[in-house]
Structure 1
C-alpha cells in the first residue's frame, strides 16, 4: 500500500505548539513516518497492511522540512506543494492510479492500493471514490503521538 499523508492536516491535529515552528513539526512527523516504510501495520479497518511507500505532502512554511537522512527516496518521498497541499495530493493520487511518469513509471494501480491520511472533507471529496481514506487519529495512534 502507498500511504499518502496530508502533513499539515496531521500536524495540525495535535495542539502541541506546532504553529511556533511549522517546518520543525513537519520534520518530526516525517522522521517518525520514515520508520514505517516496509512494515506491516493494522490499517484503519483493523486489517493488516504493508506500507510499501510513503508520499508526504508539505505546504507553506513546512516546505522547508527535509526528509530524514538515510531514507530510500523511491520508498519515502516528500512532495513540496507548489500551491495548496490538497491540490498536490489530488494530483499525486491521480498520477499513482494512472501510472504517470511522475510516479517513476510505476504501473497503473487501483485507488484501493492507496491510503490517504487527512481529515479534510473537501480534499476527501476530490479524491477518486476507490481511494481509501483515514483520519489523522489513526496515524497518530500508529505513531504513538
Structure 2
C-alpha cells in the first residue's frame, strides 16, 4: 500500500510566527526544502500552495514531493488530493490545523494531523 502525505502549506507555514507573512513565497520555498530532506513515514508528499506562496515553488514533482498550486483557497485542492489518493487505495495523512478541513478529509478516509506533527519531523 502506498502512503501519501498531503500538506496544507499555508496552514503549516502560518503555524509559526517567524515572519512568514513578510515573504510568503520564501516561506513556501523553505517548507518545500524541509520536506525534501525530512524523514517522514510516507512515501509520497503532496504540498498544496495557494496565493502568493505559489511564487516560491513551481508546480510539479521534485523527488518524492509533488507541489500543487490551488486555483483559489487551498481547502478544495487538499480535499481533492486526499480523495483521489484514498480512492486509489493509498493510506492518506493530511496535515492541517483547520478543523473543518480535518473533518472533511476524514470523511474521505484520510487521517488528519496538526502542523506540529510535521514540524516536529522537519525541524
TM-score, normalised via structure 1 length: 0.75
1:91-106, aligned counterparts within 5 Å? Answer: 91-98=80-87
Q: What is the aligned counterpart of 1:30 among 23, 29, 32?
A: 32
1:82 paired to 2:68? no
Partner of 1:19: 21
1:63 paired to 2:65? no
More helix by share: 2
**Distance in structure 2 (CA, Å) of the matches to 1:92 and 1:122:** 16
Aligned-residue CA RMSD (Å): 1.6
1:142 paired to 2:111? no
Unaligned runs of 5+ in 1: 42-49, 99-107
Larger radius of gyration: 1
1:116 paired to 2:94? yes
Unaligned runs of 5+ in 2: none
TM-score, normalised via structure 2 length: 0.88
- Alignment: residue pair count: 118
The structure whose RCO (Cα within 8 Å, separation 6+) is larger is 2
**Distance in structure 2 (CA, Å) of the matches to 1:8 and 1:27:** 12
